[in-house]
Chain A
Amino acid sequence: MQESALLHFTAHRLQEISLVFMAVVYSIRLYWLFRFKAGGDRQPRTGRLTTSPIKGAIYSLGNIAMPWAMESTRTNIFFWAQFVIFHLGVTAAITLSFVIPYAPGILENPVIVWLFQIFIGAAFLVGCYRMIRRIAVPVMRAISTPDDYFSLGLLTVWFFFAGLAAPNDVSRGEGLLITFFILTAFFLVYVPFSKISHYLYYPFMRYYLGRSLGYRGVYPIQRSATPENG
């Protein structure tokens, strides 16, 4: 069945405009960030000689994939698992936004559609849970801004429509697909101004912290494996 002009526009031109916009804004953002001078360590190295700035940086960047590395994730595996599911869902939904307009043939395989729906559906559930947590837990409420609620809400709704749009079946109506692509476009435009842009900062933050803590012999973290007493 032939797609309408509106669907074609939202799936192609609107996405392209949004992507270009996001890339431009991100570039400006990076330029702004790099105008600030980076601090360095002038002193000689400290700590174990078996580590180094490079090792520290690599450890730091890989930290999030090592739930045992930080106490906050080690003692809260459930939260870490949510993080993984949520971000896999984001990856799947973004991938879907490219697959539908540019490689729709892939979605003719029902297994692939199911996989998309499983990942995105799980992320949707995590999004709902996270929204409840953000509203119900006093500490989360105290630290949350309108942007935090809106960004999480936006992603969760986006997951919902992405999951429904995954079959790419226009015969059941174009509404779901058009909504998904409009939400995607809005997401791309909104991201640079919201907390969602954290992934732009993430590599730099982890790199600088890891480099410094590697230089100082702190990273990779050393700890006793098992309590001998107490």
Chain B
Amino acid sequence: MQVTERSHKAQKVIDRLQKKLNRQMVLSLAGCVHCGMCTDSCHYVLANPDDPTYAPAYKADQIRKLFKRHVDWTGRVFPWWVKAKSVYSDEDLEELKDIVFGKCTNCRRCTLNCPMGVDFATANRMARGLLVSVGVMPEGVAVVSKDQWEIGNQMGVLKEEYLETLEWMDDELQDELGVRHSLIPVDKKGAEIMYTINPREIKYDPRTIADAAKVFTLAGVDWTMPSEGWDMTNFGLFSGDDDLGGTVAKRVYEKAAELGVKRVVISECGHGYRSTRCEGPNWGGVNIGFEMESAVITMLRYIKEGKIKVDRDRNSVPVTFHDSCNNARSCGLYEEPRELIHLVCTDFREMYPNRAENYCCTGGGGAMSMSEYTPRRLKSARIKADQLRATGAKIVITSCHNCVDGLSDLIKHYNLDMEVTQLVNLVANAVVIPEKIEVMEKPAAVVHTLKGFRILVIDDEPETRTYLSTVLEDNAADTIQATDGLEGIEIARKEQPDLITLDISMPQMDGGEVFARLREDPATRGIPVCIVTGKPELRKLIYDKPYRPPEGYLDKPVEEETLVRNMRKILELASGASKEAAETL
């Protein structure tokens, strides 16, 4: 029986389809001739030869049928003739979800093998975006997107954790190089380079940060890491959510502009490089006034310019290189890594196919965060495993963190005798440490207590105001309370507090509006703001605004220790005023 009633979500998907279409997308959806030439280019197909539902053209048709039914000509009049079909129920959307998230990593290999030039990966990303806009997505995608929206990075790394990891790596590097100066500067204004990383490096692989710091230090460059906007990864690329993509990318750009750096260097991450370097300006609708480049290019330049010296004999184990899809197929970054490998390794073995024709690591497109599809992913990884095995290498190098995880997983699954590493690790291992190291001291301020700081608490709930004020005062801060947004703005102008805690959900004027006015007013623009809210779903009121994002974000109920720790860190990272105050302690 034909279902004619459409669910709310299905209707929204149809309504939003038109808005997602540009000329290239229309061409990709209208121009497929079903020749089947793309079929064998997909690693899912090669691992599942008897299942036609993995064929790129078949998967694309599940999206294409919507376009044909609602936008194209013939499908609107004779839908059965071109297999045009609409979606009606939430189950239809779930079926589409299974295909666009679970059977494709958006690696774009089929695109490059299509005689017509159909860009299926981009169409697939569009379909993901449509589903995400109505809340239909794998749980992992929802969790990671939420973290990136709310906390500012896709692994939910808190600012304190980030800064502590930097300090830890700083200490390690000082020990290694035998110096007693800080080697990882944070928020250094006017530095030449701002180095951005993947939160995975904080969580699981901090050594890559120390290795990069070692290279920058020995190259004698003026560099810094940002306290905010340090996450160059962007789940918007995977979820198809251009709003998230633009917001995340702009955090990096705005921080770089605020610090006045000349160049943003992006650590080795395929989707991070593509998102920050290539897609971010398009999603965010902004033009960038500084340079951006991959750390691979930076390291290569330092060696070529003689800023660092390397001894390739230190890396004598046979290595091969896996091209990340996003780097090679979407950004043309494939010769520089090879050039660098030849400079720092003695035994390089090419993998076939390679460069833009390489097979996906199978962990791309956000696949590592979608555990429900892991068996499929690992089955399809057989193609990559065969490729790796054929090189005879003991180490596979990749300039992508997703690939590191995807390859590690398949190496374990297929019992390959290999390790995965990144170029920064090999460069750091090969770099020759000079006898004398010249470093710049970090102009850091350390806040040990809240003594001497005035904090404005804006919240309409008396219990919350009292709680926050009491905790802060118990830790030696002076507090001022405001019962609503208007009063808070007025006090902020007049009293110029060192920090503001701001509730979002308030009567008369919500926190989003208050935040906007604080950021717009030159008198209050520089005051750090920490959002303290019990309604994280309202985050868009803050993060969608075209201003510097808040310096902190806390969920209610907030524990005493968490509150104080975050206040300290925000004040520590705030401008010179807090530094001076700290020095008086």
Contact = CB atoms under 8 A, between A and B. Distances in A.
Interface of A: 29, 33-34, 36-44, 46-48, 51, 60, 63-64, 70-73, 75-76, 79, 83, 137-148, 193-195, 198, 201-202, 204-206, 208-210, 212-213, 216-218, 221-224, 227-230
Residue of A29, A141, A208 ringed by the most chain B CB atoms within 10 A: A208
B113 A70 contact: yes
B352 A227 contact: yes
B119 A209 contact: yes
Given A216-B332, A222-B355, A71 B113 contact: yes
A31 B36 CA distance: 29
B74 A194 contact: yes
Going nearest first, the 6 A-B pairs with the smallest beta carbon separation are A47-B332, A217-B332, A230-B390, A142-B52, A72-B113, A201-B31
A43 B278 contact: yes
B355 A223 contact: yes
Contacts of A39: 22-25, 282
B117 A46 contact: no
Interface of B: 21-28, 30-41, 45, 50, 52-53, 55, 57-58, 61, 73-74, 80-83, 111-119, 277-282, 285-288, 291-292, 328-335, 349-357, 387, 389-392
A71 to B, nearest CB: 6
A140 B278 contact: no
Contacts of B113: 70-72
Nearest to A212: B24
B117 A209 contact: yes
A145 B53 CA distance: 15
Nearest to A150: B81
Nearest to A148: B34
A43 B58 CA distance: 33
B26 A33 contact: yes
A70 B349 contact: no
Given A43-B282, A230-B351, A143 B57 contact: yes
A46 B282 contact: no
10 contacts: A47-B332, A145-B34, A195-B82, A209-B117, A218-B330, A218-B332, A221-B356, A227-B352, A229-B391, A230-B352
Contacts, number: 200
Given A73-B115, A223-B357, A229-B390, 11 more contacts: A36-B22, A43-B288, A46-B332, A138-B50, A140-B34, A143-B58, A146-B82, A204-B27, A222-B334, A229-B350, A229-B392
Contact of A79 (B34, B37, B52, B328): B37
Contacts of B117: 60, 63, 202, 205-206, 208-210
Contacts of B37: 72-73, 76, 79
Contacts of B24: 38-39, 205, 208-209, 212
A224 B332 contact: no
A213 B391 CA distance: 29
A47 B333 contact: yes
B31 A205 contact: yes
A34 B82 contact: no
B356 A218 contact: yes
Contact of B333 (A46, A201, A204, A230): A46
Contact of A147 (B36, B61, B82, B357): B82
Contacts of B281: 42-43
Given A228-B349, A229-B350, A230-B352, A41 B112 contact: no
